[in-house]
A and B are shown apart, each in its own frame.
Chain A
Amino acid sequence: MPFVLVTPGPRGLRLAACNDEARARGLQPGERLADARAKVPDLASAVHEPAEDAASLLRMARWAERWSPWVAMDPPDGLLLDVTGVAHLFGDEAMLVADMTGRFGKLNMTARAGLAGTAPAARAIARFGQMGSPLVAEGAERTALATLPVEALDLDTGTVTTLRRAGLKRIGQLYDVPRASLARRFRAKDRHARLMERLDAALGLIRTPLSPLSPPVEFAVRHAVMDPLMSHDGVLAMLEHLGAALCLKLTRAGEGALYLELALYRADGSRAVVQAGLSRPSARAEHLVRLLAPRLEKVDLGFGVDAASLKARETQGLAAMQEALTREAGVGTQLAELADRIATRQDGAPVSVTVPVASHQPERAEEVKGFGESGAEFLPPPCPSPASGRGNDDGQPETSGESEARTRVSGMNRPVTLLDRPEEIQVIASVPDGPPVRFTWRHVARKVLKASGPERIAPDWWRTPARPGRPPRTRDYYTVEDEAGRRYWIYREGLYEEQDQPSPDWFVHGLFE
């Protein structure tokens, strides 16, 4: 049955790939599906999914490691294997190639093979070679490639067009053309350079390393026991064993776990999963076990647990860490581990850092960040180097812009607590801009003995107002102290002298220490 894959093109769906039968009926990739249907009414089609193709190519590449450990992908549909020194394991090179095509054939895949001294040559033979032998003898690349079209060199269409216009259709024709005269044909010099590079690589004049697939990394360990474990102590012991094994794996790979998953397999075939996240990558078994252990207590062991697997689902490279000699772990690590334990034990309550934000609006002037994302290090300040102190007469190290901003902010009069929602108060105040003399907050009348202010904070007019219909108004902040010595941070929203505006309201926004 003729079958095609289609992909959305500039004007409707176009064919991305055709099977042999469709090709035999005269269809070509790139055609419009509507045209193809006119030619072949019984055409079956499906949507082309490149991502699936890539995934399946990767699977195939892993499978191809049966022949050689050195497998690279040649998207969209090729594999490159370095078979140096492995052919004898399958007899000889011809038998190796036969084995490959045979095995792909068993999977109902048509495979074309090429074997040559260089990867680009082998690729060209496999993709464009005619029905000759797929094997190219040592040093015979030049002759083997001569009859192949220039497309076999994996060139972009512009280069191919330029070459074809010059009448250079076969690779062999390129051998004799002086390079300087060929260069004149190309307006873009890098195209010419790339062409020459490809040619030289195919002929083995320059080396082109293959970038092989990295071995599949899976940081998972399993442990099974003869008799099901009925007690949590037993499972905990198993977890300690697994943690040590996993951390050994992680350490060897220079990785740290970011997300852990412990699966407990019960004797009756069911499964319990315990998970824990980390704020920083860690490969310390003690820490990983301490994170998971409290959650283990809540797991129902059922009829016993006879196997468990511990997996680091997410990992991150563990930077080489210099730990203090005197302590087991550095302060940063200790803190991160503490933060992890708190976050794991107390769901939804991560340790956080409140970071100042450059905003004059008090409620927007800080931001709460999780400990992990804040990147706070809590390291001692770097020693001022002689170079940095040179510019200053007083010998003080230069302050960075950030710390300067921080000191400026902290120098302002700000209360120790800020009400999430400013609370409206009734005041007696002198007009237009005096502090209140009396005010009532939370049903208690308070007499103001001392006051300072105002500190005027204009609204962020470029923001959408929180309450639609009521544009934000200027705030005048006062610090007032009542008879008991309690200090409040209050503000008047709006000005008395404003025309066409409702009279201002007063709010308590914060409480001073």
Chain B
Amino acid sequence: MNRHGQAYQLRTSAAGQPRNRLDADARARLIGRLKGRIDRIAGDGPSLDAPAGAAPGGTAAGWITGLAGIDAHLPAGGLELHGAHEVVGRSYGDAPAALGFAAALAARRLIGLQPEDRRPVLWVRALGEVSEYGRLYGHGLARFGLTHDRLLTVSLRKPAAVLWTIEEALRSRAVSMVVCDGDHDRFDLTATRRAMLAAQEGETPCLMVFTGPRDGATAARTRWLVAPAPSIPPPYDATAPGNPAWRLELTRSRGSRPGAWTVDWHHATHRFSLVSPPAGRTAETGIDREGPVEPAAVGARAVRAGHAGPEGA
């Protein structure tokens, strides 16, 4: 709250009141000081001033989406390897899309591993999810590349147990990554921060999937809002569903601006591809319920994303 207030004052003073107008030098100093303060509070991760690709938390080569547009957008040149990330269903009912996108990111992570590294992915499930969207189906996940010899699952009831298990698994370095679909009420800032620290300590990525909408503070490096997108039909049958397609919104990202993309996923090659509105039918079907994301609105959110996280800690 406090800092928002300051930022607001800064803006109004810079824009509206000539009496208190700061000269360019003073303004740069003030912004520099504020950035330094944010970095000190955050204590980790890329500095707000750091150039893209200079993330301290592991090289990005281990975990990229494979889409130049998205990877270049992220500060680490890909998903930060030693960190926590969030995948959030945009609305209720988007849970399968969120799970699918998480599985796709996990598959990308397995591709990034050394060939001799056969450490599996640990998927931690809160049992509450089972009743609503069913259980994870092994044959469905196998299509993503998460075959039974690359995937371990554990189902837990208590939210505290989920968090404990995530941290323990991340620190053990015995798994290549941890995916959890958790109870979003209990995954507050503290919980995500603990997951983040465990991921850094164990140098293992963590992916937290939230099946319903979520808009709280988080210590995770990125937050992806996922909604299904109409798929592009295969060329031989215009009435059949094509590859899974998702509308992605990067709403929080430390050190980068938010963004929005529509991607589809190829099971056979384990690759994303961008769906551009003219080529696909995404735009012309016009079923984006909230319409295209306004860049200005996203920008305002990003400021909050950068600042609000560490403050509550």
Tell me the A residues contacting B by CB distance below 8 Å.
331, 334-335, 337-339, 341-342, 345-346, 349-356, 362, 365-366, 368, 371, 376, 378-381, 406, 409-412, 414-420, 449-452, 479-481, 483-487, 510-513
Partner of A420, one of B135, B151, B229, B287: B135
A-B contact pairs, 27 of them (CB 8 A): A334-B173, A337-B172, A338-B168, A346-B165, A349-B154, A349-B155, A351-B154, A352-B152, A362-B137, A378-B119, A378-B150, A411-B143, A414-B139, A417-B99, A418-B137, A420-B135, A451-B240, A452-B240, A479-B241, A481-B231, A484-B227, A485-B229, A485-B231, A486-B94, A486-B97, A487-B241, A513-B100
Q: Are B240 and A342 in contact (CB under 8 A)?
A: no
Q: Which residues of A contact B151 (CB under 8 A)?
A: 353-354
Q: Are A376 and B174 in contact (CB under 8 A)?
A: no
Q: Which residues of A contact B136 (CB under 8 A)?
A: 354, 416-418
Q: Are A485 and B287 in contact (CB under 8 A)?
A: yes
Given contact pairs A418-B135, A485-B287, A338 touches B175 in the complex (Cβ within 8 A): yes
Q: Which residues of B contact A337 (CB under 8 A)?
A: 172, 174
Nearest chain A CB to B284 CB, angstrom units: 13
Q: Are B119 and A331 in contact (CB under 8 A)?
A: yes
Q: Are A417 and B244 in contact (CB under 8 A)?
A: no
Q: Which residues of A contact B169 (CB under 8 A)?
A: 338, 342
Q: Which residues of B contact A335 (CB under 8 A)?
A: 119-120, 152, 174-175
The CA of A409 and the CA of B139, in the complex, are separated in Å by: 7
Partner of B168, one of A342, A354, A380, A410: A342
The CA of A365 and the CA of B142, in the complex, are separated in Å by: 13
Q: Are A510 and B147 in contact (CB under 8 A)?
A: no
* Count of inter-chain pairs, beta carbons less than 8 A: 205
Enumerate the 6 nearest inter-chain pairs by beta-carbon distance, A residue then B residue, closest first. A513-B100, A334-B174, A485-B228, A410-B142, A419-B134, A452-B240
Q: Are A487 and B228 in contact (CB under 8 A)?
A: yes
Q: Are A486 and B93 in contact (CB under 8 A)?
A: yes
Q: Are A366 and B133 in contact (CB under 8 A)?
A: no
Q: Are A513 and B140 in contact (CB under 8 A)?
A: yes
Q: Are B147 and A450 in contact (CB under 8 A)?
A: no
Q: Are B161 and A513 in contact (CB under 8 A)?
A: no
Given contact pairs A366-B137, A380-B116, A449-B230, A410 touches B149 in the complex (Cβ within 8 A): no
Q: Are A415 and B137 in contact (CB under 8 A)?
A: yes
Q: Are A356 and B172 in contact (CB under 8 A)?
A: no
B220 CB-CB contact with A under 8 Å? no
Q: Are B134 and A351 in contact (CB under 8 A)?
A: no
B5 CB-CB contact with A under 8 Å? no
Nearest chain A CB to B309 CB, angstrom units: 29
The CA of A415 and the CA of B94, in the complex, are separated in Å by: 14
1/0 per position for B221-234, CB-CB distance to A under 8 A?
00000011111010
Given contact pairs A351-B152, A352-B154, A419-B134, A480 touches B140 in the complex (Cβ within 8 A): no
Q: Are A406 and B142 in contact (CB under 8 A)?
A: yes
A sample of 14 more A-B contacts (CB under 8 A), given A331-B118, A334-B173, A418-B140, is A354-B151, A366-B138, A378-B119, A378-B120, A380-B116, A410-B139, A410-B142, A414-B137, A417-B136, A451-B240, A485-B227, A485-B229, A487-B96, A512-B244
